[in-house]
Amino acid sequence: MLCQECQKRPATVMVRRTVNNKTTRVHLCEYCAREKGELNFMDSFAGPEFSLHKLFASLLDSDAEVKQLKLDPTAGLLKCPQCGLTYNEFKGSGRLGCASCYKTYRQQLEPLLGRLHGRIEHCGKVPQRAGRSLRLKQELGELKEALNRAVEREEFEKAAVLRDKIRDMEKTIDV
């Protein structure tokens, strides 16, 4: 595929943007991508010192987000009571010191986790070796979410079927 900008060189960069739920894709050569500033994002992470920790740390506390969310500007003074890690040290390294850091820096972490994962609570897979009841509880949660979506869309027949499945499942496990 040729670059959609210059129509001369092969496209090696795909730029995808989603604005107001509308996604656009543009295929560019490396030269045109640099000219348009599409590769500037990676320049700050390139080189031998690249790490995901630096990438995550760079996403913390952008000025616009701090203003939008009205985060406490004194957050940099926060210090974990368990390990002593300050918020500024965390921002610099992108690594938390202990489990208590998640509680200490919760207000600052939630927007970042929401942006990265789409939600702030864990909803991953259940390990195969986990007990049957754990898998059933996860399935029950998924059914309840599906029920809420069906009600929102006013799909009442589907909602009734889901409701009945939920009732049957709740009888088999202790919720």
Per-residue pLDDT, 64: 47
Q: Is 15 left (phi over 0), alpha (psi -120 to 50) or beta?
A: beta
Domain ranges of the chain: 13-43, 52-117, 132-172
pLDDT at 126: 62
Computed over every residue of the chain, the mean pLDDT equals: 77
What is the DSSP track for 59-84?
HTT-HHHHHHHT--GGGGG-B-TTT-
How much is the pLDDT for 88? 80
Q: Does the predicted model carry a pTM greater than 0.75?
A: no
Q: Are 165 and 143 in contact (CB under 8 A)?
A: yes
Q: Does the pLDDT value for residue 48 go beyond 90?
A: no
Residue 68 contacts residue 46 (beta carbons within 8 Å): no
**Mean pLDDT along residues 5-12:** 92
Cα(89)–Cα(159) distance, rounded to whole angstroms? 49
Lowest-pLDDT range, 47-51, 65-69, 111-115? 65-69
